[in-house]
Amino acid sequence: MRHLYLLLFALLVSVSAQTSTPYITPELQRLIQSGGKSYSDTLLKQAADQALCSRYRNRLPPEVLGSFIEEQRKAIKYPADGRLMGDWKRGEAIYNTLARGNCFSCHVGSPLNIGGNVGPSLEKYGQRGTSEAIQRYTYEVIYNAWAYFPCTVMYRFGHNGLLKPEEIADVVAYLLDPASDFNTKPALRR
Amino acid sequence: MSRLWRLAAAALAFLALLAFAQEDDPYKEAEKQKRQLLEQSGVLPSDLFVEQGERLFKTKRGPKQASLEACDFGRGPGKLEGVVGRLPRYFFDTRRVEDLDSRIRTCMIQLQGFKPEEIRRSDVVAIAFYLASLSNERPVTVTPLMPQERALYALGEKLFYLRAGPRDMSCATCHVTYVGRRAGVLPYSDLLNDKRVASHWPAYRYSNDQAWTMADRIRACYSVLGMPAPDFYSEPIIALTLFLNAQARGGRMDLPGFIR
């Protein structure tokens, strides 16, 4: 039994040593610093999860995947009033604005902008209904896509503070509300 | 009869759509735009940059009143043909790896006596276009062999995959994982496998009438993704350029590039 504990401990130590190796080595740090202050201020602030995605080139190995997803999920916050579907009209503006949600750049589905194909098509996303489960899933993917798709390109809007929880709920409404233009009007595509 | 007419109208509309539609292949579309521009005005904007660069290169300028004709771009002083496809590389006089932009700057400092802060970016770009015109159709031969080159290449590769900033971005997130997909007008180019990508810089961008070198391209990539760009002539730019140009080894330079 003691051997088992020792083995477990050794395993834990080796895993944590592996995951805590910084991606930015001293040589890379010097290189980045020579790029100027604002550049290096941003890059050297690399978070541990960003470092893992960099190190494994966006394909996390099984031994880090579980704890990675768990950490991402733990950090998800919800609107103060608990409502995951807000105002679809406000969500429309966020979804279709380059400097805000910029969702249309990667996803097909908006009746206002031609969609891209980096992400999956969201055309008539509201067909999924408005159950608590689908609201929660949609909210959480927008809040932190890495909780479902580790290291994906989609911005972690809530996690990185790009959108407030209430704004994410507005986007959820734009996608799910049966009355939303997203579900009643045809999607624009190339 | 009316059905036939409708069919004919539909066919016509379809043909018109084809004629006005943009080419889906960005390379073919750029070729088309280049042809149209040449037919309209008889001269390409990139040719004007080349001419301006040649004048700047050959005129005696700066505190030392010297031209840049003795500048060594890696093939010896004054040997200019094909140099763009051989950069970045290590230079013994400055003891650093330099790309096209930083080598031009070095010569403006050493030969002409300019102070770094006096060097105008637009002059460097024009001179880069002139040198590009002398490297057209030459092969890309960038091969990190010197220890300094190998070290910088390795750092450039790490930088290429480094995710940071509020949008978790890196070069590779788009240009490796989503090659060929679109978030906007152009599909993401395949920086690791398509040798045409790195071999068309410096290039003229017809969509917004800009003359860009690889440094401008890299800086724009950072800015678009919400990250501050590295300074011109700085090591991160040279490291990324070395990494990218080495991927294009064996390709043929298409210079000055003409792109969207």
Q: Which of A41, A105, A155 sits opposite B168 (nearest CB)?
A: A155
Domain residue spans in chain B?
45-133, 147-259
Which of B204, B200, B194 shows the shortest CA–CA distance to B248? B194
**In chain B, % of residues over pLDDT 90:** 66
The CATH code of domain B45-133 reads 1.10.760.10
- Gap between the Cα atoms of B217 and B99, Å rounded: 14
Q: Which of A53, A118, A151 sits opposite B178 (nearest CB)?
A: A118
What is the mean pLDDT of the segment spanning A27-44? 97
Residues in A touching B192 (Cβ below 8 Å):
none
Chain-chain contact of A36 with B174 (C-beta, under 8 angstroms): no
Helices B235-247 and A26-33 pack at an angle, to 10 degrees, of 110
Q: Is B172 on the interface with A (CB under 8 A)?
A: yes
Q: What is the pLDDT of residue A3?
A: 59
CA closest to B157 among chain A residues? A28
Q: Is A117 on the interface with B (CB under 8 A)?
A: yes
pLDDT digit string, tens, across residues A18-29 = 455 689 999 999
Q: Which residues 194-253 of B are in CB contact (within 8 Å) with A? A: 222, 227-231, 234-237, 239
User: What is the model's pTM?
Assistant: 0.87
Please check whether the two domains, B45-133 and B147-259, share a CATH topology. Answer: yes
Q: How many CB atoms lie within 10 A of CB A10?
A: 10
Chain-chain contact of B181 with A117 (C-beta, under 8 angstroms): yes
pLDDT digit string, tens, across residues B172-208 = 999 988 888 888 778 888 889 988 888 889 999 988 8
Under 8 Å CB-to-CB from A61, ≥6 apart: which residues? none
Quickly list DSSP for A129-173: ---HHHHHHHHHHHH-GGGTSTT-SS--TTTTTSS-HHHHHHHHH
CA dihedral A144→A40→B103→B204, nearest 10 degrees, is 30
Q: What is the pLDDT of residue B224?
A: 84
Taken in order of first residue, the domains within chain A and their CATH numbers are 2-74 (no CATH), 88-184 (1.10.760.10)
Q: Does the active-site annotation cover B221? A: yes
CA closest to B230 among chain A residues? A35
Residues in A touching B235 (Cβ below 8 Å):
31, 34-35
Phi, psi (deg, nearest 5) at residue B218: -65, -45
A interface test, pick of B17, B25, B150, B162 with most A CB neighbours within 10 Å: B162
Q: Is A45 on the interface with B (CB under 8 A)?
A: yes
Which of A133, A103, A124 shows the shortest CA–CA distance to A175? A124
Rounded mean pLDDT of chain B? 89
The secondary structure element, H or E, covering residue B124 is: helix B121-133
Cβ contact B184:A116 at 8 Å: yes
Q: Is A161 on the interface with B (CB under 8 A)?
A: yes
Chain-chain contact of A31 with B229 (C-beta, under 8 angstroms): no
Three-class secondary structure of residue B164 per DSSP: strand
pLDDT digit string, tens, across residues A74-117 = 999 999 999 999 999 999 999 999 999 999 999 999 999 999 99
What is the mean pLDDT of the segment spanning B121-140? 96
CA closest to A155 among chain B residues? B167
Which of B157, A156, B199, B208 shows the shortest CA–CA distance to B220? B208
CATH number for B147-259: choose from 3.40.250.10, 2.40.50.140, 3.20.20.140, 1.10.760.10: 1.10.760.10
Q: Which of A25, A45, A153 sits opposite B164 (nearest CB)?
A: A45
